[in-house]
Structure 1
């Protein structure tokens, strides 16, 4: 089974422009994400998929300088960007990761790949309440191609796998039961605002290790409410 990770990335975030190249630890957010994704067992390629807009030249340059595979495609039609990127690798499965999640859970992602290797369904659904910013999505390439044809609405084109959740009867799913030590829905470990960045920066400074277990990050935030509360008031943008 050939599985690739596609990390969607762009400079032009509406709430925190340039967030993925902001410094954390001894590198930046995108380095944290790519390094953690490279630790996912059962994955053959890790690719950053950015846009063809001039503002994202900085991402392409960073990837070149750091020997990271890079693909460039549509800015707003993120689904087509994923499909066009995946075509070059002819995978069986595609794992979707967003570049604003510097503590993405590579250990849990490895278990998800192993589950799909055994089950070979269209998509993995996660049973559990993790902090926002840790989970990945794994979908078959064939299911992704189906979504690309069937998903006509703007929300389907912007949010790559959204169609599969909206029309779940069209797909065969396997359930992944998340470990209980990941259940912390009150925590927000993603990067969309200055408050999020303050939390991410503090966590990275404390551990000084891009490959720290997500379990340890959760424990640290539970033990240090003064850090966890930095972005507790931030509301996630709704899908429309």
Structure 2
């Protein structure tokens, strides 16, 4: 059984352009995510899935320099970008990770994959019922199911957000949810805003040198010891990108 991680990345972020390659500790932010993904025991290959827009050439250059597999496809039809990448990098299950989560936890990812496989689920995540910090979001989907989605009648939001069609049809698919033992969903470890970047930069500068394989629980402890940092980006809500897409769809 083959499991590939597809890392969704682009430079044209609406809220914080170029965020995935922002320098932290003299390294592009994306490099920390890749380093942590490589610690996953259940992932066979890591592929950065970016767009064919000229603005994303810097992502391609970074991947080539770091010997990371990369695939280019549609900017807005991300579902097609994924299914096209699947043709080049076939597998049985796809782990979808977004490139704005540099503190993703490899143990949590492996737990989601294990739950997915053991439960024989069509699709599994740890974020539909939030209990992990935002920024540890992990999705696993059967590759054949993902490929079949393009044959359905899809909204633009379904094409942009890849797994949305499945997530909205719980009665049609067998879905698994990994829940944390305690609710830590109020911690924000993703990068969408400039305050997020400040939080992530401070965490990495403080923890990475002495313990590069720190866990999300180490981060939680650090933020509890530095409450002003924890609250710096607390005003931002989860899934603002999705909410924006749905609102645009209503107005069109």
How would you bin the TM-score normalised by the shorter chain? Answer: over 0.9
Q: Residue 169 of structure 2 corresponds to which residue in structure 1?
A: 167
CA apart distance, 1:89: 2.1
CA apart distance, 1:138: 0.5
Q: Residue 31 of structure 1 corresponds to which residue in structure 2?
A: 31
Counterparts of 2:152 and 2:223, CA distance in 1 = 41
Q: Residue 135 of structure 1 corresponds to which residue in structure 2?
A: 137
CA apart distance, 1:221: 1.2
Matched, 1:52 2:78: no
* Unpaired stretches in structure 2, ≥5 consecutive residues: 247-252
Poorly superposed stretches of 4+, deviation over 4 Å = none
CA apart distance, 1:26: 4.3
Q: Residue 107 of structure 2 corresponds to which residue in structure 1?
A: 107
Counterparts of 1:95 and 1:138, CA distance in 2 = 4
Counterparts of 1:102 and 1:175, CA distance in 2 = 22
Q: Residue 154 of structure 2 corresponds to which residue in structure 1?
A: 152
Aligned length: 238
CA RMSD of aligned residues (A): 1.5
CA apart distance, 1:8: 0.4
Instruction: Evaluate the alpha carbon distance shift between residue 175 and residue 185 of structure 1 in structure 2; reply closer, same or farther with a 3 A threshold.
Output: closer
Counterparts of 1:179 and 1:40, CA distance in 2 = 21
* TM-score (ref. length: structure 1): 0.94
Instruction: Evaluate the alpha carbon distance shift between residue 66 and residue 15 of structure 1 in structure 2; reply closer, same or farther with a 3 A threshold.
Output: same
Aligned partner of residue 169 in structure 1, secondary structure: coil
Matched, 1:213 2:215: yes
Q: For each residue in 1:124-173, what CA deviation from the matched residue of structure 2 results, as whole angstroms up to 9, or x when unmatched? A: 14355112111210010122123222251011011011111111212112
Q: Residue 237 of structure 2 corresponds to which residue in structure 1?
A: 235
Partners of 1:41 and 1:113 within 8 A in 2 = no
Aligned partner of residue 39 in structure 2, secondary structure: coil
